[in-house]
Amino acid sequence: MADAAQADLQDRPRARLTTVAVKSIETRRLEGRQRQQRHREGGLCLKRVRAAASPRTCSAEDCNRLMIHCADAIGMDLHRNRHATLQALIAVRQAVSQEREDRLDAQLISAKLIPALVRLLLIRPRSHLARDTVLEAAWICTNLACAGEAAAAAVLAAAPVLALHLDCAHGYAVAEQCAWALGNLAGEGQDACQVLGANGVVLPLGRLLLRGCKEHAVGGTQAAACAAWALANILFSCPSEVGHLLYLSGFPRGLTAVLRGHRNRELAVEAAWLLAFITAGPEAHMYAMIKHGAAEAVSAALLCEASSCPQQGQGEESLLDALLRSIGNMAPSRAAAGVFSAPEIKAAIAELRQHALLAEEAQWALGNLDAMDRCI
């Protein structure tokens, strides 16, 4: 588990930060990109299957039969057979949630199942039954996006209608599931992310993140965390989408506010990684976040987390890793230099070099801070 966690922490993109010691930083960027490529080929942490209890093990052949039955049920008079349709969806969802070595029929998914699911996703739920039907359809799309490249390519056709439900008009549960599906699709890589960007999913995901953080409705925080994760996946492969996100009214300030002290750890971790990807891009994007207090927020969060790091277990270092990455990214900014040059910040980062999973990132951040100090 430690090896897997360490690999995960290393597989994040870095930005070039300063002209001092360019050769070493560029070398590390190249090594980081090579690790990212190997990690993406493995597809280990860029996608998440939503588990589901299943009464029995289902082979790929059985699953294919269930998908045919489900598509046929949807193809009948939908409004008269909603209960039957829901039961068929549940059976398919349970089947596609199982781990299997054999592949599902991608042609069947593309030609028959996805068009039927899109029809369901176009429903504007006015009852609990209709809402459950849409939720199940989105759940199936979520897990099919993890069922192989061909299956994910088929699910990509449903991206526009999945994005329609990010407005929370039908509750946070539906919005979260659709964000989850889009995040899995983004895990396919640059081509898929470009399609998602062209279909306008970035701004709705950003709005879901902001709305979930502000409201105290049930499921809001989980939906916001899922939206942040999906956005990070998109920016991982398609950094050009950052500009659209930063033009969203209130987004830089809202993302900074999450890091200033949101109590939900999952949301804080995903927001921190999202900030790390944003600040790894063009300087204009980095300065937009610094202008809204990102440096202060990251510093405060780092001090709080570093004080409890020795008591944390395996896998709990992801937030610190993202914070260190953001500090290293923002180090060349004179506006942030005054914040990061504080003795307690440098001391905390230096202490984190003793942590096995954080040593490399801490050393990298310190190196960029020291390089900036020499330039001032």
In a domain, 23, yes or no: yes
Do 27 and 77 belong to one domain? no
Do 326 and 264 belong to one domain? yes
pLDDT (average), residues 303-332: 78
pLDDT value at residue 5: 41
Q: How many whole angstroms separate alpha carbon 309 and alpha carbon 8?
A: 18
- Digit-coded pLDDT (tens) for 119-132: 989 887 778 888 99
Phi, psi of 215, deg, nearest 5: -90, 155
Please say whether the beta carbons of 238 and 281 come within 8 A.
no
Do 148 and 82 belong to one domain? yes
Do 338 and 276 belong to one domain? yes
Helix axes 265-279, 283-291, angle to 10 degrees: 140
pLDDT (average), residues 80-108: 84
Say yes or no to pLDDT of 318 above 90.
Answer: no
pLDDT value at residue 103: 78
Please say whether the beta carbons of 254 and 211 come within 8 A.
no
36 CA to centre of own chain: 15
Say yes or no to pLDDT of 372 above 60.
Answer: yes
Token representation of residue 376: 């001032």
Percent of the chain with pLDDT over 90: 40
> Which of 98-112, 239-253, 340-354 is least confident?
98-112
Tally the domains of the chain.
Answer: 2
pTM for the model: 0.84
Q: How many whole angstroms separate alpha carbon 290 and alpha carbon 252?
A: 9
| Residues present in the chain in total | 376
Q: How many whole angstroms separate alpha carbon 198 and alpha carbon 194?
A: 6
pLDDT value at residue 32: 38
- 19 or 147: whose pLDDT is higher? 147
Domain boundary among 165, 186, 207: 186
pLDDT value at residue 355: 85
Q: How many whole angstroms separate alpha carbon 36 and alpha carbon 21?
A: 23
Helix axes 318-330, 343-352, angle to 10 degrees: 130
In a domain, 77, yes or no: yes
Say yes or no to pLDDT of 41 above 70.
Answer: no
Q: Which of 179, 287, 164 shows the shortest CA–CA distance to 233?
A: 179
Please say whether the beta carbons of 182 and 231 come within 8 A.
no
In a domain, 215, yes or no: no
In a domain, 356, yes or no: yes
Number of other residues whose CB lies within 10 A of the CB of residue 169: 11
Domain boundary among 153, 169, 186: 186
pLDDT value at residue 78: 61
Percent of the chain with pLDDT over 70: 80
Domain boundary among 186, 220, 255: 186
In a domain, 227, yes or no: no
Do 13 and 99 belong to one domain? no
CATH number at residue 7: 1.25.10.10
- Digit-coded pLDDT (tens) for 141-200: 999 998 889 999 999 999 999 999 999 988 999 999 999 999 999 999 899 999 999 999
pLDDT value at residue 160: 96
Say yes or no to pLDDT of 307 above 90.
Answer: no
pLDDT value at residue 3: 47
- Digit-coded pLDDT (tens) for 220-262: 999 999 999 999 999 988 888 888 899 899 999 999 999 987 7
Please say whether the beta carbons of 329 and 17 come within 8 A.
yes
Say yes or no to pLDDT of 216 above 60.
Answer: yes
pLDDT value at residue 309: 67
Q: How many whole angstroms separate alpha carbon 229 and alpha carbon 142?
A: 14
In a domain, 278, yes or no: yes
pLDDT value at residue 252: 93
Please say whether the beta carbons of 59 and 102 come within 8 A.
yes
Say yes or no to pLDDT of 55 above 60.
Answer: no
In a domain, 225, yes or no: no
Do 41 and 66 belong to one domain? no
Do 34 and 65 belong to one domain? no
Confidence of residue 292 (pLDDT cuts 50, 70, 90): very high
Sign of the torsion angle spanned by Cα atoms 188, 239, 39, 166 = negative
Say yes or no to pLDDT of 207 above 80.
Answer: yes
pLDDT value at residue 310: 54
pLDDT (average), residues 53-79: 76
In a domain, 201, yes or no: no
Give the list of residues 6+ apart from residue 35 with CB closer than 8 angstroms, or none. 7, 10, 11
7 CA to centre of own chain: 18
pLDDT value at residue 19: 30
Do 51 and 41 belong to one domain? no
Do 114 and 142 belong to one domain? yes
Do 41 and 52 belong to one domain? no
b (16+ CB within 10 A) / e for 171-198: bbbbbbbbbbbbbbbbbbbeebbebbbe
Tell me which residue range forms the domain holding 262: 1-45+240-376
pLDDT value at residue 302: 92
Say yes or no to pLDDT of 1 above 90.
Answer: no
Give the list of residues 6+ apart from residue 208 with CB closer than 8 angstroms, or none. 166, 167, 168, 175, 179, 223, 224, 227
Q: How many whole angstroms separate alpha carbon 352 and alpha carbon 360?
A: 9
pLDDT value at residue 56: 60
Chain mean pLDDT for the chain: 81
Do 37 and 54 belong to one domain? no
Do 126 and 145 belong to one domain? yes
